C-alpha cells in the first residue's frame, strides 16, 4: 500500500505537487491522467524516492520514504530519460541490473524479454534499437524482478498497436500477481479500461475522476 | 630550438607554467600545458550528472547505495585519467625522447605522481560541481579556475603575497617549476612544498568525495 500524506514539491518557487493525499491499494491499477506539465511524472518520482518532497511524506507499507527507507523496497519504474546501456544487448543490460538485488534469475530475464516481444538471444545492441524496441526493453527492465509496485510514465510511448495490447496484457498479469500499478498518461481513453481507478492531475493537484 | 624546447625535457608538461616576466613565454607554456587538460575536462563533462539522470536511475532505484554509486564514478574517473596521463607520457616519449635526455627516475616518478594527483583533484571538483550546477557550467567554472589560478599566482608572487595563499591554487601543485622538482633552475620558483602538496591533495580528494556522497543523498534525481 502506498500512502501519500500531504505531499507537496516546490521547485524554484513553484509548487509542482500540491498537498497530495491519497492511498493506492495493493493489487490495483491506477491511471493518472493530465496535461503535459501537470505533475504526473513528479508524482511518480516522489513515490519512487527519486525526489524528496518539500512537505509531507510517502508511506510505503508502513515505512516512510527518506526516513525509514531511501526507496520503495521492490519497485519497477519507467520514467523519462531513463536509459539502459547502449553498448550492450537486451539480456546483458538486464543481467547487469539483476546483479544488484540478486532476486531475478537468467530464466526470469529471458522470459520477461520474450514477453515484451523481444528476442533474449539477440546480440543487437541497445544503441541500434528503434524507439519502440527501447520502450519494450524499458518495460522488461521494470518487470523482470517481479516488483510489488510498478510506476510507469507513458509506458506505451512509441510502441505499435500490437505492442500496446501486449503491454496491457502484461499489466493485467502484474495485477493478478498482486502488484500495485500506477500509470501516468495524457491519453485517458487508451488505458482507462485497464484501470481500477482513474485520477486526474492538474496544476500539481490530484483528484478523483 | 623552440622556446618550448628550452625546458630540455622529454616530459615538459610535468613542469607546468613558470613564473616569468615575459607574457609571450608564459602564454606559450600555459597553452602547451593547458590544452590536454582542457581536453580531459571536455571528456569528463556530464560524467556524473548525465549518468545519474539516465542509467543511474535504473541502478539507484534498485536500492543501490548512492554512496557506492558515486564512489564507482569517481574510481572510473581516476582510472580514465590514469590512461590519459599514460597516453600523454607515451606521446611525449615517442616524439621527444630522441631530442632530449630522460630526467632521472626519482624525479620523473615524483613529477608524474603529483601531476596525476593534481588532475584527479581538479576533475573531482568538476564532478562535485555537477551535483550543484549543470555539467556545462561546471566545466566552465573549473576551466576558469585552472587558467585564473596560474595567472593569479604570478601576480600574487610579483606583489609578494604570503606563501599560504598559493596552496589554494591547486593547479600549481602539479607543476615541477613550482614544486622545485625540475632540474631547470632558470624557470624554477618554489612556492609549493612537494610533500605538503601531496598531503593537501589527498585531503582535498577525500573531502570532495565526502561532499559528493553527502550531496547525492539529498539531491533530486529528475
B64 CB neighbours in chain A (<8 A) are 100
C-alpha to C-alpha distance for A63 and B139, rounded to whole angstroms: 40
Q: Quote the pLDDT of residue B1.
A: 45
Nearest CA in chain A to B50: A81
Q: Quote the pLDDT of residue B8.
A: 65
Residues 70-109 on A with a CB inside 8 Å of B are: 70-71, 73, 75, 77, 79, 81-85, 97, 100-101
More confident site: B79 or A193: B79
The closest of A7, A10, A29, A55 to A152, measured between CA atoms, is A29
Q: Quote the pLDDT of residue B218.
A: 86
State pLDDT tens for residues A7-49. Answer: 999 998 999 999 999 999 999 999 999 998 899 999 999 999 9
Inter-residue contact A9 to A54 (CB < 8 Å): yes
Check whether B194 has a pLDDT greater than 80. yes
pLDDT (average), residues A154-172: 91
State pLDDT tens for residues B70-81. Answer: 999 999 999 999
Check whether B97 has a pLDDT greater than 90. no
Query: How many residues in chain B?
Result: 222
More confident site: B25 or B214: B214
Query: How many residues in chain A?
Result: 209
Average the pLDDT over each of A94-108, A165-179, B95-109 and give the range with the smallest value: B95-109
pLDDT (average), residues A133-157: 95
Q: Is A82 in Cβ contact with B57 (below 8 Å)?
A: yes
ipTM above 0.95, yes or no: no
Compute, in degrees rounded to 10, the torsion defined by CA atoms A159, A160, A161, A165.
-40
Q: Is B58 in Cβ contact with A70 (below 8 Å)?
A: no
The closest of A41, A25, A56 to A185, measured between CA atoms, is A41
The closest of B164, B124, B110, B97 to B41, measured between CA atoms, is B124
Enclosing H/E stretch for A206: strand A205-208
The residue segments making up the domain with residue B173 are: 4-218
pLDDT (average), residues A98-112: 95
Q: Quote the pLDDT of residue B102.
A: 73
Nearest CA in chain B to A53: B220
Nearest to B62 among A45, A84, A97 (CB): A97
Q: Quote the pLDDT of residue B5.
A: 55
C-alpha to C-alpha distance for B118 and B196, rounded to whole angstroms: 13
Check whether A50 has a pLDDT greater than 90. yes
A75 CB neighbours in chain B (<8 A) are 61
Nearest CA in chain A to B57: A82
**Domains held by chain B: number:** 1
Q: What nine digits make up the cell of A162? A: 500490437
pLDDT (average), residues A89-117: 96
The residue segments making up the domain with residue A105 are: 2-208
pLDDT (average), residues B108-114: 93
B58 CB neighbours in chain A (<8 A) are 77, 82-84, 97, 141
C-alpha to C-alpha distance for B161 and B164, rounded to whole angstroms: 9
pLDDT (average), residues A114-141: 96
Q: Is B63 in Cβ contact with A97 (below 8 Å)?
A: no
For the beta sheet containing A55-60, the strands, ordered from the edge strand earlier in sequence to the opposite edge, are: A14-24, A2-11, A55-60, A63-64
pLDDT (average), residues B88-110: 82
Nearest CA in chain B to A97: B59
pLDDT (average), residues A115-125: 96
Q: Is A100 in Cβ contact with B59 (below 8 Å)?
A: yes
State pLDDT tens for residues B182-193. Answer: 777 778 888 889
The CATH number of whichever domain residue A164 belongs to comes to 3.40.50.300
Nearest CA in chain B to A49: B61
Check whether B199 has a pLDDT greater than 50. yes
Q: Quote the pLDDT of residue B95.
A: 82
Residue A56 — φ and ψ, nearest 5°? 80, 180
Instruction: Spell out where A38-192 has E strands.
Output: 55-60, 63-64, 75-78, 149-153, 180-185
Q: Quote the pLDDT of residue A128.
A: 96
Residues 38-97 on B with a CB inside 8 Å of A are: 53-55, 57-64, 66
Quickly list H helices, B45-134.
Answer: 49-53, 55-60, 66-96, 105-129
C-alpha to C-alpha distance for A52 and A45, rounded to whole angstroms: 9
C-alpha to C-alpha distance for B100 and B93, rounded to whole angstroms: 10
More confident site: B102 or B22: B22
The closest of B207, B33, B57 to B125, measured between CA atoms, is B207
**Domains held by chain A: number:** 1
Q: Which residues 6+ apart lie within 8 Å of B36 measured at CB?
A: B13, B84, B88
C-alpha to C-alpha distance for B22 and B24, rounded to whole angstroms: 5
Check whether A170 has a pLDDT greater than 90. yes
Q: Which residues 6+ apart lie within 8 Å of A177 measured at CB?
A: A146
Distance from CA of A196 to the nearest CA of B (A): 26
pLDDT band at residue A65 using 50, 70 and 90 as cut-offs: very high
pLDDT band at residue B112 using 50, 70 and 90 as cut-offs: very high
Whether A141 has its CB under 8 Å from any CB of chain B: the answer is yes
State pLDDT tens for residues A16-27. Answer: 999 999 999 999
pLDDT (average), residues A101-126: 96
State pLDDT tens for residues B25-55. Answer: 888 889 889 999 999 999 999 999 999 998 9
Q: Determine how β-strand A2-11 pairs with β-strand A14-24.
A: antiparallel
**Which residue in A9, A87, A97, A127 has the most chain B C-beta atoms within 10 A of its own C-beta, making it the best mutation to test that interface?**
A97
Nearest to A101 among B54, B62, B222 (CB): B62
Question: Taking the CA atoms of chain A, what radius of gyration do you get in angstroms?
Answer: 17
CA distances from A73 to A38, A59, A106, A153 (A): 27, 12, 21, 19
Q: Is B221 in Cβ contact with A82 (below 8 Å)?
A: no
Q: Quote the pLDDT of residue A78.
A: 94
C-alpha to C-alpha distance for B202 and B139, rounded to whole angstroms: 22
Q: Which residues 6+ apart lie within 8 Å of A52 measured at CB?
A: A66, B218, B220
Distance from CA of A120 to the nearest CA of B (A): 19
Amino acid at each position: 500500500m502506498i500512502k501519500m500524506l500531504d505531499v507537496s514539491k516546490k521547485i524554484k518557487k513553484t509548487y509542482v505537487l500540491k498537498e497530495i493525499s491519497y492511498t493506492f491499494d495493493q493489487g490495483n491499477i491506477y491511471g493518472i491522467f493530465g496535461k503535459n506539465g501537470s505533475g504526473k511524472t513528479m508524482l511518480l518520482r516522489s513515490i519512487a524516492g527519486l525526489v524528496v518532497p518539500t512537505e509531507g511524506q510517502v508511506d510505503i507499507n508502513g515505512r516512510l520514504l527518506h526516513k525509514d527507507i531511501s526507496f520503495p523496497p521492490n519497485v519497477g519504474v519507467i520514467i523519462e530519460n531513463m536509459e539502459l546501456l547502449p553498448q550492450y544487448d537486451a539480456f546483458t543490460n538486464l543481467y547487469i541490473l539483476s546483479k544488484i538485488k540478486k532476486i531475478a534469475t537468467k530464466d526470469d530475464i529471458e522470459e520477461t524479454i520474450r514477453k515484451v516481444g523481444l528476442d533474449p538471444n539477440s546480440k543487437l545492441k541497445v544503441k541500434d534499437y528503434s524507439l519502440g524496441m527501447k520502450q519494450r526493453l524499458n518495460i522488461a527492465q521494470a518487470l523482470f524482478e517481479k516488483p510489488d509496485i510498478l510506476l510507469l510514465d507513458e509506458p506505451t510511448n512509441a510502441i505499435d498497436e500490437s505492442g500496446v495490447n501486449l503491454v496491457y496484457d502484461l499489466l493485467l498479469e502484474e495485477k493478478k500477481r498482486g502488484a500495485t500499478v500506477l500509470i501516468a498518461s495524457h491519453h485517458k481513453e487508451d488505458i482507462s479500461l485497464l484501470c481500477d481507478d482513474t485520477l486526474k492531475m492538474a496544476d500539481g493537484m490530484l483528484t478523483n475522476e | 630550438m623552440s622556446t618550448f624546447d628550452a625546458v630540455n625535457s622529454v616530459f615538459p608538461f610535468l613542469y607546468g607554467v613558470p613564473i616569468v616576466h615575459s607574457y609571450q613565454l608564459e602564454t606559450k607554456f600555459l597553452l602547451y600545458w593547458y590544452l590536454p587538460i582542457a581536453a580531459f575536462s571536455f571528456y569528463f563533462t556530464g560524467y556524473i550528472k548525465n549518468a545519474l539522470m539516465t542509467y543511474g536511475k535504473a541502478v539507484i532505484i534498485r536500492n543501490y547505495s548512492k554512496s557506492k554509486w558515486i564512489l564507482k564514478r569517481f574510481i572510473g574517473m581516476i582510472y580514465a585519467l590514469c590512461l590519459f596521463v599514460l597516453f600523454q607520457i607515451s606521446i611525449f616519449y615517442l616524439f621527444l625522447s630522441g631530442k632530449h635526455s630522460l630526467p632521472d627516475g626519482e624525479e620523473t616518478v615524483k613529477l608524474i605522481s603529483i601531476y596525476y594527483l593534481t588532475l584527479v583533484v581538479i576533475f573531482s571538483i568538476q564532478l562535485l560541481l555537477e551535483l550543484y550546477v549543470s555539467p556545462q557550467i561546471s566545466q566552465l567554472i573549473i576551466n576558469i579556475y585552472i587558467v585564473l589560478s596560474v595567472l593569479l599566482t604570478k601576480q600574487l608572487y610579483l606583489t609578494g603575497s604570503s606563501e599560504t595563499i598559493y596552496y589554494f591554487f591547486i593547479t600549481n601543485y602539479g607543476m615541477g617549476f613550482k614544486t622545485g622538482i625540475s632540474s631547470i633552475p632558470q624557470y624554477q620558483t618554489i612556492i609549493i612544498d612537494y610533500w605538503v602538496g601531496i598531503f593537501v591533495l589527498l585531503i582535498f580528494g577525500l573531502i570532495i568525495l565526502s561532499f559528493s556522497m553527502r550531496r547525492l543523498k539529498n539531491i533530486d534525481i529528475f
